[in-house]
Structure formats: structure tokens, C-alpha cells
Structure 1
Amino acid sequence: MTTVIDLWITESPNSTLPGFGDPLVLAAESFNRAHPRFEVRIRKVEVHLMPEAVAQAVAQGNPPDVVEYTYSSTQTALDTRAANGDPLFVPIQRAIGGRTEILGEPVVVEDLVPTVRRYYSVGGELVSVPSMVTTNLLYANKTVLDRAGIEQLPVTWKDLTAACAKIAELPDGPGHGVSWPNYGWVFHMELAGQGALLTNGDNGRSGRATRVFLDSPEMLNYVGWWKEMLDSGYYLPTEELHYFTCMQAFARQEIAFVVTSSAVGQMMVGMAAEAGFELTAGQLPRPDEECSPGGPVAGHSLFLTAGLPKEKEDGALAFLQHQLNEHHGVARICTPGNPMTSLPITRAAYERTTADDWADPFPGFRSATAQVTSAGHTPAAAGPMVGSLNSINIVLTQAAEDVLLRGAEPAARFRAATEEAQQVLDRYNAAALAYPPVTPDDLSAG
């Protein structure tokens, strides 16, 4: 008799990125062949709709067995409740229970890249299994950089400012030097680079996050430099300050630098080739050379539903190991047609993809990998684990937009943003900490 394991994985909004999720699909097919008494059955759900879809399935009495959430919904997943009020998902480390193999599949979670493991851990316990990892990089038009006499990619904010000044001197160069998105994850990385926290409880790592710090000195330091770059004409505020509008401006050669995710590295290669310039990439610039640029990571991870029958739970746990074995760990980095490139999730994949005979899938791949693996072992570098993170990010980005485009005074505007975000978090925690606790109403994901 076949045991079915219902696996829900994320797909891009409106399926705009064909091939998104293919690495997990291929891993499921491989697992089904290797374990014929199991069938991993896949359903794709748009990434921003997943938390709500799962909550609806619980209400209907048919929740999935394994679910993939985007990184910013990790706390939401932990606070999603089963019909009896218990947590819907069981921490992966607890479910594995010290085993070294499950149904013949070697347990590989102990081999996770430490930075990645820390992001998906709370109180030192691994809560989910990562399925895709990415970081932010600085991509550059090397053709323009050569013309401007810029021999090295910027390492610090000061370096980037100086490079943009040189580009501005070109008689027929880009109209601006750089752009990057107004996006929560970028703020998280810039805070981590300064060793600063977004929330209390060690960024929610040692205890539930109950306070937010959107107006910290480090936040205002970043926003102040950003505003200086805008006022100097070096920063281009693209439409909606979005990742893709920044990338499109880069492809049109309106800027020489752009910050975007390593996940779209291969897409960036295609855009540069079509536009006719040479692409290069390096690590995200940081306030000074002493700051760590390595965390926090983004991506997706897989959660295991609690209380499954033993046979099904073991099958699900075995699949979670299978999709991370060295073969699949490497395949998700270079699967043909996959629009999103993961960085190495396990040390085995890291060693293989940083070997001398490895052909990088895009310029900057090794810089991205080094950026992740070099992150400090701190709560700041691990990133925030907090409820309603997407809604808090929206408050954060609205404040930045008001400062950049509408002349708001930074300290006052971000103090108001802190108060607004605190109300968002308080409403969320009121549900999560109620007795009996219930799934919070805010299930937004970004």
C-alpha cells in the first residue's frame, strides 16, 4: 500500500517564473523512485499566499504534511495552529530525535552551512529544513567601471560613494551610479552588518520578539547614507523602488551598480549579455571593513506537520533528507531552466561548488557563497525571527520612502514607524500568546 505525503511548495506569483520550484519537484520524483511505497505528491501555491492557504486547509480538516514557507514567514509558520490548538508544525530537530539515518536516507541536517542553520533555528533548535538560500550582492557593469578607471568593486559605503563620483565624471556615462530596492531584507542585512538587532529577544532567537527597534542609531546611520547618495545624484530611485525595476534600470545602463539577490544571478547574466556589457559582482558594501556583510540569508524552508502517523512522518523526514543530499544540493544550484539559483545549503554542496573544477553559474557566485559562510555567529547576523515580519517590513519601507522622496525628517519618521510597527507586532502576539493560542490574523508573506 502506498503512503502519500502531501507536499506544498511555493511558486512565483501568477507563475511568472516558469521552472520555479523544479529542484523540489525533481527531488520528489527521485525519492518516489527510490522509495516505491511512498508517493510525495506536490501542490504548488503562490509564495505570498502559502500561510493563508495552510490556515484554510487546517480549518477544512485537511492540512498538508510538509509545507514550504518563504523565509520571512518562519515565525508565522511556528505560530500556525492545528485544529486542537497545538502548533501545526513540529521542529525538525525534535522530530529527527538524534537519528543518523531514516529509511536508509542519511540525516544531513547536521551538515547545514552554519549561517543557514542559525537562520532556521530558534533557541538553538532547528525548526525547518531549508530548500533554497540566497543573499544580496552588488552587481556591476564592468564595461562602465573600466572606462571610469574603477579597478576593484566597492567594499564599503565610502568605496561605493567614491565609485559613483567617478562614474558621474564620465562624459557619456550612466545618469546615476547605483540603485537598490526599498525592501525589508536589505534593511535586515544592513543592520546585521552593523551588529544591530531589529527586535528584542536577541532578534527573537532566545525568546519571542515583543519589541521592535526601527529607529536605532544603526538604522538611522544607513538611512542617512542612503539619503546622501540620493541627494548627491548617485542613487537612482526607480519606480516603486523594487528589485526588478532596479534590475531593469541596470539593464538599460542607467546605472553602473545594482543591489539584487544572488537568486537571479543567471538572469542578470542574460540581461547583461542582451544589453552588450560585461557583468561582474561582489559582496554587499558595508559601513566599514570591520563590519560583517554575511547575514541574514533569505530563501525558503520546509516545515513538517506534527502528529502524522509514524510511517508517514518517517517518509516525510526521509524525503527532507533526500532533497538535501549532495546530488540534489548541487542540482538546485545549476538545474537548467530553473530561474532561481540557490547558494549551497550543506557543507557537502559548498565543498563541491567551490572546488577548482566547478564552473560558477554566474559572476559573483563565489562572493555570494563566501558572504554567507563568513557571517558572524551573532543574533544580528542570524536575522530577525518575528511575527508579522512582512507587515513590519512594509512599515519600514514606507518610512524610508517618506524620507527619500517626500522630505521627512529621518529620526522623527522612523520613531513614528517604530510605534506603528509595535502596534502590528502587539496585535500579532496577542493571538499567538493568548490562552488558548490561536493562529494570528496577519498571515501576510513577502
Structure 2
Amino acid sequence: MTTVIELWITESPNSTLPGFGDPLVLAAESFNRAHPEYDVRIRRVEVHLMPETVAEAIALGNPPDVVEYTYSSTQTALDTRAADGAPMFVPIQRAIGGRTEILGEPVVVEDLVPTVREYYSVGGELVSVPSMVTTNLLYANKTVLDRAGIERMPVTWKDLTAACATVAALPDGPGHGVSWPNYGWVFHQELAGQGALLTNGGNGRTGRATRVFLDSPEMLGYASWWKEMLDSGHYLPTEELHYFTCMQAFARQEIAFVVTSSAVGQMMVGMAAEAGFELTAGQLPRPDEHRSPGGPLGGHSLFLAAGLPKEKEDGALAFLQHQLDAEHAVARISVPGNPMTSLPITQAAYERTTADDWTDPFPGFRSATAQVTSAERTPAAAGPMVGNLNGINIVLTEAMEDVLLRDAEPAARFRAATEEAQRLLDRYNAAALAYPPVTPDDLLAG
């Protein structure tokens, strides 16, 4: 008799990126061939709808067995409740229980890149299995940089400011130096680059986050520098201050630098080739060159439903190892047709992709890999683990938009944002910490 495992994976909004999620589809097909007594069946759900879709399925009595959540919804997954009020998901490390293999599949979670493992751990316990890892990079039009005599990619904010000034002096050069999105993840990385926390409880890593710090000196320092870049003409505020509008401005050569995700590195190569310029990339600039900008990560991870029958749980756990074996760990980095490139998740994948005979899928791949693997092992670098993170991010980005486009004073505006975000978190925690606890209403996903 075949045991069915219901696996829900994320897809891009409105399926705008065909092939998104294919590495997991290929891994499921491979697992089913190797274990004919199991049938891993996949359902695709738009990434921003996954938390509420899971909650609806629980209410209807047909929840999935394994679910892929985006990185910013990790705390939401942990606070989602099953029909009996117990946690919907069991921490992966607890379910594995020290085993070294499951149904003949070697347990590979101990081989996770340490910084990746720490991002998906709470209190030192691994709660989910990563399925994709990304970071933000600084991409550049090397053709313009060569014309300007810029031989080194900027490392610090000061370097980037100086490089933009040099580009501005070019005759017939880009109208602006740089753009990047007004997006929560960028703030998280810039805080990590200063060793600063977004919340108490060690960023929610040593205890539940109950306070937010949107008006910290480090946050205000970043916001003020950003505004200075705008006022000097170096920063281009694109439509909606969005990732893709920044990338489009870069492709039109309106800017020489752009910050975007390593996940779209291959897309950036295609855009540069079509526009007729050479692409290069470096690590995300930070205020101090001695600090690492490596954390926190972006990407997705897989959660295991609690209370499954042993046969089904073992099959699900075996699949979670299978999708990270050597073949699939490397394939998700270079699988043809996949629009989103993962960075190495396991040490085996890291060793393979840093070997001399490895061909990088895009310029900056090794910089991105180094940025992730060299991140400081601190709560700041691990990133925030906090309820309703996307709601908090929206408050944060609205404050920055007011500073950039409406001349709001940074300290006052971010103080008001802190108060608003605190109300969101208090509401969320009231549900998660009630007795009996319930799934919070705020299930926004990034």
C-alpha cells in the first residue's frame, strides 16, 4: 500500500516565474522512484498566501504533511496551531531524534552550512529544513565602472558614496549612481552589518521577541545615510521602490549599481547581456569594512506536521534528507530553467561549488556564498525571529518612504513606526501566548 505525503511548496505570485520550485519537484520525483512505497504529492501555493492557506486547511480538517514557508514566516509557522490547539509543526531536530539515517536516506541536517542552520534554529534547535538560501548583493555595470576608473567594488557605505560621485562625473554617464529596494530584508541585513538587533530576546533567538527597535541608533544611521544619498542625487528612487523596478533601471543603464537578491543572479546576467554591458558583483556594502554583511538570510524552508503516523513521518523525514543530498543540493544551484538560484545549503554543496573546476552560474556567486558562510555567529547576524515580521516590515518601509519622498524627520518618523510595529507585535503575541494559544490572525508573508 502506498503512503501519500502531501507536500505544499511555494510559487511566485501569479506564477510570474515559471520553473520556480522545480528543484523540489525534481527531488520529489526522484524520491518516489527510490521509495515506491511512498508518493510525495505536490501542491503549489503562492508564497505570500501560504500561511493563511495552511490555516484554512487546518480549519477544514485537511492540512498538509510538509509545508514550505518563506524565511520571514518562520515564527508564524511555529505559532500555527493544529485542530487540537497543539503546535502544527514539530521541530525537525526533535523529530529526527538523533538518527543518522531514515529509510536508508542519510540524515544530512548536520551537514548544513552553520550560518544557514542557525537561521532556522530557535534556542539552538533546528526547526525546519532549508530548501533555498539567498542573500542581497551589490551588482554593477562593469562597463561604466571601467570608464570611470573604478577598479574595486565598494565595500562600505563610504566607498559606495565615493564611487557614485565618480560615476556622476562621467560625461554621458548614468543619471544616478545606485538604487536598492525599500524592503524589510535589506534593513535586516544592514542592521546585522552593524551588529544591531531588530527585537529583544536576542532577535527572538534566545527568547520570544516582545519588543521592537525600529528607532535604534543603527537604524537611524542607515536611514540618514540613505536620505543623504538621495539628496546628493546618487540614489534613484524607482517606482514603488521595488526590487524589479530597481533592476529595470539598472538594465536601462540609468544607474551604475543596484542591490538585489543573489536568487536572480542568472536573470541579471541576461538583462546585462541584452543591454550590452558587462556585469560584475560584490558583497553588500556596510558602514564598517570589518563587519560582515552576511546575515540574515533569505529563502525558504520546509516544516514537518506534528503527530503524523510513524510510517508517514518517517517517509516525510526521509524526503527532507533526500532533497538535500549531494545531487539535489547542487542541482538547485544550477538546474536548467530554474529562475531562482540558491546558494549552497550544505557543506557538501559548498565544497563542490567552491572547487576549482566549478563554473559560477553568475558573477558574484562566490561573493554571495562567502557573504553567507562568513557571517558573524551572533543573534544580530542570525536575523529577527519575530511574529508578524512582514507586518513589521511594512511599517518600517512606510516610514522610510516618508523620509525619502515626503521629507519626514527620521528620528520622529521611526519612533512613530516603532510604536505602530509594537502594537502589531503585541496583538500577535496576545494570540500566540494566550491560554489556550491560538493561531494569530496576522499571517502576512513576505
Q: What TM-score bracket applies, with the shorter chain setting the length?
A: over 0.9
TM-score (norm: length of structure 2): 1.00
Q: Does 1:370 align with 2:370?
A: yes
Q: Which residue of 1 aligns with 2:315?
A: 315
> Which residues of 2 match residues 250-329 of structure 1 at below 5 A?
250-329=250-329
Q: Which residue of 2 aligns with 1:181?
A: 181
* Paired residue type of 1:53: T
Secondary structure of 1:300's aligned partner: strand
Q: Which residue of 2 aligns with 1:342?
A: 342
Secondary structure of 1:308's aligned partner: coil
Hey, what's the Cα distance between the residues in 1 that align with 2:54 and 2:139? 36
Q: Does 1:43 align with 2:39?
A: no
Shift of 1:288: 1.4
Q: Which residue of 1 aligns with 2:71?
A: 71
Q: Does 1:130 align with 2:159?
A: no
> Which residues of 2 match residues 240-259 of structure 1 at below 5 A?
240-259=240-259
Secondary structure of 1:64's aligned partner: coil
TM-score (norm: length of structure 1): 1.00
Hey, what's the Cα distance between the residues in 2 that align with 1:444 and 1:407? 29
Shift of 1:290: 1.5
Secondary structure of 1:281's aligned partner: strand
Hey, what's the Cα distance between the residues in 2 that align with 1:31 and 1:330? 16
Shift of 1:310: 0.2
Hey, what's the Cα distance between the residues in 2 that align with 1:299 and 1:164? 30
Hey, what's the Cα distance between the residues in 2 that align with 1:242 and 1:139? 16
Secondary structure of 1:218's aligned partner: helix
Secondary structure of 2:139's aligned partner: strand
Q: Does 1:356 align with 2:356?
A: yes
Structure 1 spans left out of the alignment, 5+ residues: none
Q: Which residue of 1 aligns with 2:7?
A: 7
Hey, what's the Cα distance between the residues in 2 that align with 1:343 and 1:290? 23
Once the two structures are superposed, what CA deviation does each residue of 1:113-162 show, in whole Å capped at 9, x if it has no partner? 01110100000000000000000000000000000000000000000000
Q: Which residue of 1 aligns with 2:142?
A: 142
* Paired residue type of 2:270: G
Q: Which residue of 2 aligns with 1:154?
A: 154
Secondary structure of 2:381's aligned partner: helix
* Paired residue type of 2:234: Y
Shift of 1:49: 0.3
Hey, what's the Cα distance between the residues in 1 that align with 2:226 and 2:398? 15
Hey, what's the Cα distance between the residues in 2 that align with 1:9 and 1:326? 21
Structure 2 spans left out of the alignment, 5+ residues: none
Secondary structure of 1:260's aligned partner: strand
> Which residues of 2 match residues 65-104 of structure 1 at below 5 A?
65-104=65-104
Q: Which residue of 2 aligns with 1:107?
A: 107
Hey, what's the Cα distance between the residues in 2 that align with 1:251 and 1:281? 14
Moved more, 238-247 or 289-298: 289-298
Once the two structures are superposed, what CA deviation does each residue of 1:242-281 show, in whole Å capped at 9, x if it has no partner? 0000000000000000000000000000000000000000
Shift of 1:291: 1.6
Q: Which residue of 1 aligns with 2:390?
A: 390
> Which residues of 2 match residues 230-245 of structure 1 at below 5 A?
230-245=230-245
* Paired residue type of 1:141: N
Hey, what's the Cα distance between the residues in 2 that align with 1:28 and 1:9? 11
Q: Report the identity percentage.
A: 89
Shift of 1:371: 0.2
How many pairs are equivalent?
446
* Paired residue type of 2:418: T
* Paired residue type of 1:211: R
Secondary structure of 1:424's aligned partner: helix
Hey, what's the Cα distance between the residues in 2 that align with 1:42 and 1:445? 20
> Which residues of 2 match residues 224-235 of structure 1 at below 5 A?
224-235=224-235
Q: Which residue of 1 aligns with 2:219?
A: 219
Once the two structures are superposed, what CA deviation does each residue of 1:187-207 show, in whole Å capped at 9, x if it has no partner? 000000000000000000000
Hey, what's the Cα distance between the residues in 1 that align with 2:23 and 2:433? 37
Hey, what's the Cα distance between the residues in 2 that align with 1:294 and 1:302? 22
Hey, what's the Cα distance between the residues in 2 that align with 1:177 and 1:227? 14
Secondary structure of 2:303's aligned partner: strand
Secondary structure of 1:211's aligned partner: coil
* Paired residue type of 2:230: L
Hey, what's the Cα distance between the residues in 1 that align with 2:413 and 2:133? 33
* Paired residue type of 1:137: L
Q: Which residue of 2 aligns with 1:32?
A: 32
Once the two structures are superposed, what CA deviation does each residue of 1:393-435 show, in whole Å capped at 9, x if it has no partner? 0000000000011000000000000000000000000000000
* Paired residue type of 2:200: N
Secondary structure of 2:7's aligned partner: strand
Once the two structures are superposed, what CA deviation does each residue of 1:379-400 show, in whole Å capped at 9, x if it has no partner? 0000000000000000000000
Once the two structures are superposed, what CA deviation does each residue of 1:341-393 show, in whole Å capped at 9, x if it has no partner? 00000000000011000000000000000000000000000000000000000
* Paired residue type of 2:129: V
Hey, what's the Cα distance between the residues in 1 that align with 2:255 and 2:301? 34
CA root-mean-square deviation: 0.3
Stretches of 4+ aligned residues off by more than 2 angstroms: none
Q: Which residue of 1 aligns with 2:441?
A: 441
Shift of 1:314: 0.1
Hey, what's the Cα distance between the residues in 1 that align with 2:215 and 2:103? 50
Q: Does 1:199 align with 2:199?
A: yes
Secondary structure of 1:299's aligned partner: strand
Shift of 1:292: 1.3
